[in-house]
């Protein structure tokens, strides 16, 4: 039964957030979905060059790979307002899936009310500047994040289909391609191969539909960042955006990018799959030449990892709370015109610093989890699996055992905790039968459609 008081709190909070979002400046008028809609109509109805299209009255056109346009072909049958409605519905579905995937396991482990936890998480999610911009622009970012996290669920279940979501996301937009490298680095060869083959098949499908459009994209458009916007524009919260606002040589960007790539590589190798995916989303935003504010929805899962760690350790990660507040604040827009001086450097690049902080500081529960998980996934490792696959098995097993606090791992594999008559014991940490050891683990003006 739904608690009336809690329902009232959620309703009041959602109403307040909705009013604030409606009144605060920064509405984007579904600009990006307008570019998609008009470009597809121009391509299909007028038989025009997809990448020559410019939305009337602007300098912005279609910049995604050809497969993205193929996916958007149904827009040719839809009117403008219907397209907006479909965009909002798809974003809502993707958001609901992500929140359930990221928050529900934490709520179950902590013994919280699941609906109440998800409702509060949805309110916190809606406050974030990248989420607000994604909805207001009519962007596809949250749908792409959801595709990647479908693969996370498939990996945790040991599904042979893992990699399809990442492959589709990479064929629609190049940024998620780093997740393929993540699969390689963590020795998930089958999933990596599936992702590559999926992306290749999707790209070839688009080429078969319109060879000239694919040729235009891969021989020129893909390498022309000027089509997307100015590198030093404050909305570009990537490392290159930071370097461009400093008016520094791009060798500084190359050096900083190399450092980020090395740190990402070292950390994801020992991370749980959930933390590894979060780190990969962060790194993809930092390394991409252009990362508009709405692209930063890839960073959002990191806050779920911080929440999980805080619950396990019964400690508030205040630095993570600070990062969340910064991403809610829209503070970077105060320096949208002038960003000189120390204050301008710190303010205009605030989201970049949040990303860097998360990349270096996000808990990965590396060595402890690897030790406990390797035992839990011994059969998989014996069958030719790797330590990274054992991490998958261990994280899945952790959700079943739902510990409330971090516990020390043991070397022996977890045994079934069964009573004398075969009944399941309520808490394997409180009763240990003879011959078994308890299995424990640590627990504005728009810059264009992009």
**Does 330 map to a domain?**
no
Residue 339 belongs to a domain: no
- 265-279 average pLDDT score: 96
- pTM assigned to the model: 0.81
Which tens digit of pLDDT belongs to each residue from 428-441? 333 333 333 333 33
| Model pLDDT, residue 1 | 62
List the domain range (segments joined by +) for residue 45. 24-223
- DSSP helix/strand/coil, 407: coil
Residue at 316 is within a domain: no
Does residue 8 lie in a domain region? Answer: no
Residue 359's pLDDT is 97
Return the SS3 of 112: coil
156, 392 contact by CB (below 8 A): yes
Q: Would 338 be classed as within a structural domain? A: no
- Residue 160 in any domain: the answer is yes
List, for residues 213-265, the tens digit of each pLDDT value.
999 999 988 888 777 778 999 999 999 999 999 999 989 999 999 999 999 99
CB 147 within 8 A of CB 169: yes
Within a domain: residue 113? yes
The structural domain count of the chain equals 1
More confident residue, 433 or 129: 129
* Model pLDDT, residue 329: 94
pLDDT of 64 higher than 60: yes
What is residue 338's predicted lDDT score, i.e. its pLDDT?
86
Give a yes or no: residue 369 inside a domain: no
Q: Given CA atoms 281, 284, 285, 290 in this order, what sign does their dihedral have?
A: negative
Does residue 421 surpass a pLDDT of 50? no
CB 171 within 8 A of CB 203: yes
Q: What is the mean pLDDT of the chain?
A: 84
- What is the radius of gyration, based on Cα positions, of the chain? 23
Could you count the other beta carbons within 10 Å of the beta carbon of residue 401?
A: 19
CB 178 within 8 A of CB 295: no
pLDDT tens digits, one per residue of 74-84: 999 999 999 99
Burial class (CB in 10 A: 0-12, 13-18, 19+), 40: buried
pLDDT, average across residues 167-188? 96
């Amino acid at each position: 039964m739904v608690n009336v008081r809690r329902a009232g709190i959620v309703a009041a909070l959602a109403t307040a957030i909705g009013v604030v979002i409606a009144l605060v400046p920064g509405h984007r008028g579904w600009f990006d979905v307008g570019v998609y809609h008009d470009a597809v109509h121009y391509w299909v109805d007028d038989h025009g060059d997809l990448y020559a299209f410019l939305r009337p009255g602007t300098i912005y056109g279609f910049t995604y790979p050809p497969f993205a346009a193929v996916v958007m072909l149904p827009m040719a049958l839809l009117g403008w307002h219907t397209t907006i409605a479909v965009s909002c519905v798809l974003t809502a579905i993707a958001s609901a899936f992500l929140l359930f995937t990221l928050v529900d396991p934490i709520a179950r482990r902590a013994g919280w009310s699941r609906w109440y936890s998800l409702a509060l998480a949805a309110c916190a999610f809606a406050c974030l500047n990248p989420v607000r911009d994604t909805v207001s622009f009519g962007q596809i970012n949250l749908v792409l994040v959801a595709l990647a996290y479908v693969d996370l669920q498939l990996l945790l279940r040991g599904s042979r289909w893992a990699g399809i979501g990442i492959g589709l996301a990479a064929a629609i937009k190049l940024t998620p391609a780093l997740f393929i490298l993540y699969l390689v680095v963590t020795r998930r060869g089958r999933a990596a191969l599936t992702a590559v083959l999926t992306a290749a098949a999707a790209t070839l499908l688009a080429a078969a539909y319109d060879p000239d459009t694919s040729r235009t994209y891969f021989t020129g458009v893909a390498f022309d960042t000027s089509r997307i916007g100015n590198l030093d524009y404050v909305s570009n919260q990537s490392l290159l955006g930071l370097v461009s606002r400093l008016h520094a040589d791009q060798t500084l960007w190359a050096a900083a990018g190399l450092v980020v790539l090395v740190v990402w590589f070292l950390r994801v190798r020992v991370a749980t799959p959930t933390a590894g995916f979060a780190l990969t989303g962060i790194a993809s935003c930092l390394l991409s030449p252009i990362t508009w504010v709405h692209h930063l929805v890839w960073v959002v899962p990191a806050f779920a990892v911080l929440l999980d760690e805080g619950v396990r350790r019964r400690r508030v990660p205040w630095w993570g709370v600070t990062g969340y507040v910064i991403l809610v604040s829209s503070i970077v827009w105060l320096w949208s015109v002038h960003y000189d001086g120390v204050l301008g450097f710190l303010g205009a690049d605030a989201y970049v610093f949040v990303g860097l902080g998360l990349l270096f500081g996000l808990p990965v529960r590396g060595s402890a989890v690897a030790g406990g998980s390797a035992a839990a996934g011994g059969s998989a490792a014996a069958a030719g699996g790797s330590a990274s696959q054992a991490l998958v098995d261990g994280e899945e097993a952790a959700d079943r055992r739902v510990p409330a606090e971090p516990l020390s791992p043991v070397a022996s594999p977890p045994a079934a905790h069964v009573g004398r008559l075969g009944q399941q014991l309520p808490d394997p940490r409180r009763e240990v039968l003879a011959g078994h050891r308890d299995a424990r683990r640590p627990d504005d003006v728009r810059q264009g459609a992009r």
